[in-house]
Amino acid sequence: MQGWDGYLYGTTTAGGDSNAGVIYKLSIAGDLTVVKSFDSRNYLPGYQAYAGLVARGDGNLYGATIWGGLVGVGTIFQLTTGGTYSVLYNFDPPTGSGAYATPIQHSSGKLFGMTKRGGAPGNGVVYSLDDGLEPFAALLTNRGLVGDSVGILGHGFAQATGVEFNGTAASFHVISDTYMTATVPAGESGFCSSAFLTRSLL
């Protein structure tokens, strides 16, 4: 996963100081740095991040471990690009155990994922975590010519009243509350700023 700082971030399930896995970052030039070394002996932060990471709208990285935490069955964590690691949630058998799948961020701002074990029948759960991140909008492409259709992911689009490209009104079509398309208007072609469109749409 590429972080907002331009580095590529990933996880391993082994290696590191106690062979419990690491979180690393890799520069485009190929320089690798271990950001977090998990420790199965100091298990409260969790260890063995089998799943990958997701970069969310606040600029931080999020992931899950399959072991450790208060109950020993995994955690959901946050990692800043500055290297600060914090546990957001401790799994327990009723709410899930063994989060092997990489979580995703919904356009509502919530984090969603799956576990392999836990839940009422013990066969895993689909979970969501609401830690207060705001809904977001994002372009599926940031370039196009006049007349091209641009897909936009977001939240609350059922109430959308207009879309603008650099101040120029564009025709749009709401597909669902979280997806819409807009047509690049005359006089506006080239590259679009996702941040600008996010402010305009919301």
Mean of pLDDT values over 45-73: 94
Residue in the structure block whose two tokens are 């600060």: 84
Write out the two tokens for 112. 């969603």
Full-model pTM: 0.77
Residue in the structure block whose two tokens are 């990692």: 79
User: Which among 153, 140, 138, 142 has a CA at the least distance from the CA of 192?
Assistant: 142
| Residue 156, phi-psi category: left (phi > 0), alpha (psi -120 to 50), beta (remainder) | left
Question: How far is residue 183's CA from residue 51's CA, in Å, rounded to a whole number?
Answer: 37
**146: which DSSP letter?**
T
Which pLDDT belongs to residue 146? Answer: 86
Write out the two tokens for 195. 């941040």
Read off the pLDDT of residues 120-160 as tens digits, 9 standing for 90 and up: 989 999 999 999 888 877 778 777 788 888 888 887 888 88
